[in-house]
Structure 1
Amino acid sequence: MCRLLAHVSPTPATTQDVIGNASCVEWQRLGRLHTDGWGTAWLDGDQIRRYRDATHGLGNADLTDALIDTPTRARLTHLRLATEGLATRVANSHPFRVGEIALAQNGSIAPISRLRQKVTDAELARVGGETDTAMVFALILRRHEAGEPLFDAVTTTVAEIRREFPTAALNLLVLSPEELIATHANEGAPIPHDLFEESGLGSDLPADHIDHYYQLSWRRAEDGAIAVTSSGLTGDGWQRMAPETAVRIDLATLEVSRRDLHERAAQPVA
């Protein structure tokens, strides 16, 4: 269970340029609850770069720098709240990256042992870590490397997992040199209220976490830049993504394609 933030822009920009300084400060403060590491991936020329840190992001100077001082046409950033039993270490931190594709998740899949059976040892070792997110990424890569476009591989994998694990939460951000993909798939997923209580934050719990923890929202700036975020940010202009949908943003044109994951789930399994 984590927090996601991404931006794409027509020219290199910082996340602060796209969503404003107050929102960047507010998002980094989500690290008071999501304390199990942070990471970021960004477009550098035609390559995807990545940095991960197993320490918390609240007050972390490197995270601040990633949000406000390093311009890029596309960036995703992640704050981790670890699923019980999964260690807090760099190998389990998001985003995961294989080649020129990076992926971060907000959610969980249980039982993880059943998901693990779907992935080979070699596939998981290639992604790294031991999390359900790493397993999902391995399944996406299997499809993509068999010839499916990345958007197809992501949405089909998410739909198939949701069909078998109906209470799974699968909010994903996937970044390649060509596209940013966001999936909003979490109907029926239980909100981790026990973890909120254990945090001791009380009334300082971030906005919308009690009722809309898995909500993804987006907004577009006047210059065409697009931002996507998990719940926790306030302010004007944010629009909620519809349940069980996915979007693909073309980095070259900023054209947005939308897909209904219910329709994807209804298609025959290949």
Structure 2
Amino acid sequence: MCRLLAHVSPAPATTKDVIGDSAAAEWQRLGRLHADGWGTAWLAGQEIRRYRDPARGVDSPDLAGALGDTPSLARLTHLRLATEGMANRVSNTHPFRVDDIALAHNGSISPFAQLRAKVSDEELARVGGNTDTAAVFALILRRVDAGEPLFDAVTSTVVELRREFPRSALNLLVLSPEELIAVHANEGAPIPHKEFEASGLGPDLPADHVDHYYRLSWRRSEDGAIAVTSSGLTGDGWHEMAPETAVRVDLATLQVERRELGARAAVAA
């Protein structure tokens, strides 16, 4: 259970440039709850680069720098609230990256043993880590290796897993040199209220966490830049992403394709 943030822009920009100084600071403060590490992946030329830190990000100058100091056409950033039993270490810290594909996840899939049985030791070792997210990424990569376009591979895997694990939460951000993909799939997933209570934050719990923890929202700036975030940010301009949908943003054109995960119907936006 984690927090997600991403931007794409027509010219190199920082995430802070796209969402504003106060929103970037507010998002980093979500690390007071999501304190099990942070990571980021961004487009540098035609390569996806990545940085991960298993320490908490709320007071990390490196996280502040990732959000505000390095312009890029696309970046995704992740704050981790570790699923019980999934160790807090670098190899389990998001985003995961294989070749030039990076993936970050908000949610969980259980029972993990049932999911783990779907991937081989070699597939999991390729991704690194031993979490449910690593297994999901391995399943996506299996489809990519078989020749499926990345958007098809992501959405087909999510549909398959939601069918087998109906109470799973599968909010995903996936970044490649060509596209940013955002998936909002978690209807019926339980909100982790026990973790909220254990945090001791009480009235300082981030916005929208009690009722809308798995919400994803998006906004588009006047210059065409697009941002996507998990719940926890306040302010104007954010629009809720429809449940059980996925979107693909073409990094070259900023054209958006939306897909309903049930019917797998693609709609140009």
Separation in 1, partners of 2:36, 2:59? 14
Residue 196 (structure 1) aligns with: 196
Residue 82 (structure 2) aligns with: 82
Q: Which runs of 4+ in 1 moved over 2 A?
A: none
Separation in 2, partners of 1:20, 1:59? 18
Q: In structure 2, give the amino acid aligned to 1:253.
A: T
Residue 67 (structure 2) aligns with: 67
Q: In structure 2, give the amino acid aligned to 1:239.
A: H
TM-score with structure 2 setting the length: 0.98
Deviations for 1:84-135, whole angstroms, at most 9, x for unmatched residues? 0010000000000000000000000000000000000000000000000000
Residue 174 (structure 1) aligns with: 174
Deviations for 1:148-182, whole angstroms, at most 9, x for unmatched residues? 00000000000000000000000000000000000
Residue 249 (structure 1) aligns with: 249
Aligned-pair CA distance for 1:264: 3.4
Separation in 1, partners of 2:145, 2:239? 33
5+ residue gaps in structure 2? none
Residue 12 (structure 1) aligns with: 12
Residue 92 (structure 2) aligns with: 92
TM-score with structure 1 setting the length: 0.98
Residue 220 (structure 2) aligns with: 220
State the secondary structure of the residue aligned to 2:25. helix
Aligned-pair CA distance for 1:263: 1.1
5+ residue gaps in structure 1? 266-270
Deviations for 1:164-220, whole angstroms, at most 9, x for unmatched residues? 000000000000000000000000000000000000000000000000000000000
State the secondary structure of the residue aligned to 2:76. strand
Residue 106 (structure 2) aligns with: 106
Residue 211 (structure 1) aligns with: 211
Residue 134 (structure 2) aligns with: 134
Separation in 2, partners of 1:11, 1:137? 29
Q: In structure 2, give the amino acid aligned to 1:123.
A: E
Aligned-pair CA distance for 1:59: 1.0
Separation in 1, partners of 2:191, 2:78? 18
Separation in 1, partners of 2:124, 2:86? 15
Size of the aligned set, in residue pairs, is 265
* Residue 232 (structure 1) aligned with residue 226 (structure 2): no
**What does residue range 18-33 of structure 1 map to in structure 2 within 5 Å?**
18-33=18-33
* Residue 147 (structure 1) aligned with residue 147 (structure 2): yes
* Residue 55 (structure 1) aligned with residue 42 (structure 2): no
Q: In structure 2, give the amino acid aligned to 1:94.
A: H
Residue 116 (structure 1) aligns with: 116
State the secondary structure of the residue aligned to 2:264. helix
Fraction of identical pairs, as percent: 77
Deviations for 1:42-73, whole angstroms, at most 9, x for unmatched residues? 00000000000000001100000000111000
Q: In structure 1, give the amino acid aligned to 2:6.
A: A
